[in-house]
Amino acid sequence: MNRVLILLLGFLSFSASAENCSFKSHHELAQEIYDEIGQSALKCVPNSVHLTFDDGPSQTVTPEILKELKLRKIQASFFVTTTNLDPSHAKYQENRALVQQAMNEGHMIADHGFEHNAYDLRLDASGKLLEKGFSQKEREDQIQKSVDYLNWSTGGKFSKQIPLMFRFPYGRGAMPSEKELKHMMDEGEIHLSGKTYAEQLKEYRQISPPLQTIAGHGFSHLGWNHDSHDSSFGIKSPEKTILKDYIIKNIKALCSNPKITKVALFHDIKEMNITAIPIIADIGQCLGLKFVNAQTMMADQQLNKTGVMVSKQDIIQGQIENVIKGLAEVESSPKVECSKPVVDKSCWSEQYQKSYPHCSGGDSVCFEGKWYARTDPVVKDNCQLKD
């Protein structure tokens, strides 16, 4: 059999398997988690999901996340902490290149501020002051610096994105807790007439200095309605059982509560996501989740109505209605059957910008998702290649 025929046969078998549930992740946990979820008879509602990554870029995690997203044609949003782009950062040039790469690959580049600080005050659960938050001038300076660095990294394309999105570190600025609102009122920083927290929060958002500042710089605000809780872990990936539990919990949560696009919060500084994101994407897609880009996400009006997304116009006009309306819970969800997965053994070629089937290639041969030299025993023993 000549090589062309082998390539053709390989391509046909790849195309046929693509109709079934297909794993692109080769991690041992992928099948294990899939089997476990299958046994749990998970009821997954086919939600739309938009993946968002905060605090990066990181030289260890972001390139891997970009690679996995590209392989699956998923476009996400990256909320950049722009201290990573400052010349005082050891890897600022590499970090800028990553921001540029993410934008070129169709992801939305968004702003997470310069220093990872609260844009209003920040209290812990007991009411102790953790961070005072920025003054008006500091807020302005921080945002201007952020915008400048993002434009510098993208050749001015950052500010041309429509709409421009900002996310406050810790979600602070748009969603103060009851204790934080009370503290601001006690300190005389803000005056609210509402009696209940819900009333006060609604009022606060209409005049919130952090929200007004970002809107003045052309930003809308995007929060999240799915927290991966990866911030509870360190930078290094945890042991296998913990990682597995993290992945399963995320898949189950993304599968629940439909009727609104899931805006999922992850961090591209956490190494666990190098393994978790491909598995969540593969199994999620198998269960019916649709990973949508920023534009598709923004078309979901529910995100505005529930305050997950607050548009620049609404901030400026103080017309933020229903922002604290609870999300509709769905009591019963139809079960989504998942066919037996077929492991995708193809390999992506950076050089040729296309996917090669198992046991095909040239000087390098694709074997079970990895490239080997044509002369490698793994290839010689397992692939029937003719020279």
Residues that bind Zn ion (CB under 5 A): 54-55, 169
Nearer to Zn ion, 152 or 170 (CB): 170
Closest CA to 230 of 25, 54, 12: 54
Nearer to Zn ion, 54 or 203 (CB): 54
Nearer to Zn ion, 10 or 56 (CB): 56
Nearer to Zn ion, 169 or 173 (CB): 169
Nearer to Zn ion, 112 or 244 (CB): 112
Query: What is the enclosing helix (H) or strand (E) of 52?
Result: strand 48-54
Give how far Cα 27 sits from Cα of 302, 383, 385, Å: 36, 22, 26
Interatomic CA distance for residues 217 and 121, integer angstroms: 21
Nearer to Zn ion, 63 or 169 (CB): 169
Query: Which residue has the CB atom at the shortest distance from Zn ion?
Result: 54
Contacts of 86 (CB under 8 A, 6+ apart): 92, 114, 149
Nearer to Zn ion, 54 or 282 (CB): 54
Assigned token pair, 364: 């390098």
The distance of closest approach from Cβ of residue 267 to Zn ion in the complex, given in angstroms and rounded to an integer, is 7
Helix (H, G, I), strand (E, B) or coil at 51: strand
Contacts of 20 (CB under 8 A, 6+ apart): 339, 340, 341, 342
Nearer to Zn ion, 169 or 341 (CB): 169
Interatomic CA distance for residues 374 and 361, integer angstroms: 8
The distance of closest approach from Cβ of residue 266 to Zn ion in the complex, given in angstroms and rounded to an integer, is 11
The distance of closest approach from Cβ of residue 59 to Zn ion in the complex, given in angstroms and rounded to an integer, is 18
Cis peptide before 57 (omega within 30 of 0): yes
Looking up tokens 């041309």, which residue turns up? 160
The distance of closest approach from Cβ of residue 358 to Zn ion in the complex, given in angstroms and rounded to an integer, is 40
Assigned token pair, 386: 């003719």
The distance of closest approach from Cβ of residue 54 to Zn ion in the complex, given in angstroms and rounded to an integer, is 4
Nearer to Zn ion, 22 or 82 (CB): 82
Length of the chain equals 387
The distance of closest approach from Cβ of residue 90 to Zn ion in the complex, given in angstroms and rounded to an integer, is 20
Q: Which amino acid is at 208?
A: S
Give how far Cα 42 sits from Cα of 45, 78, 284, 331, 332, Å: 10, 30, 11, 14, 12
Nearer to Zn ion, 119 or 372 (CB): 119
Interatomic CA distance for residues 144 and 312, integer angstroms: 17
The distance of closest approach from Cβ of residue 17 to Zn ion in the complex, given in angstroms and rounded to an integer, is 39
The distance of closest approach from Cβ of residue 223 to Zn ion in the complex, given in angstroms and rounded to an integer, is 12
The distance of closest approach from Cβ of residue 376 to Zn ion in the complex, given in angstroms and rounded to an integer, is 43
The distance of closest approach from Cβ of residue 65 to Zn ion in the complex, given in angstroms and rounded to an integer, is 15
Strand locations in the chain, DSSP E?
22-23, 48-54, 77-80, 108-111, 122-123, 129-131, 164-166, 219-222, 226-227, 262-267, 290-291, 309-310, 342-343, 347-349, 354-356, 360-361, 364-367, 370-373
Give how far Cα 194 sits from Cα of 204, 325, 341, 373, Å: 10, 16, 54, 69
DSSP 262: E
Looking up tokens 């529930």, which residue turns up? 306
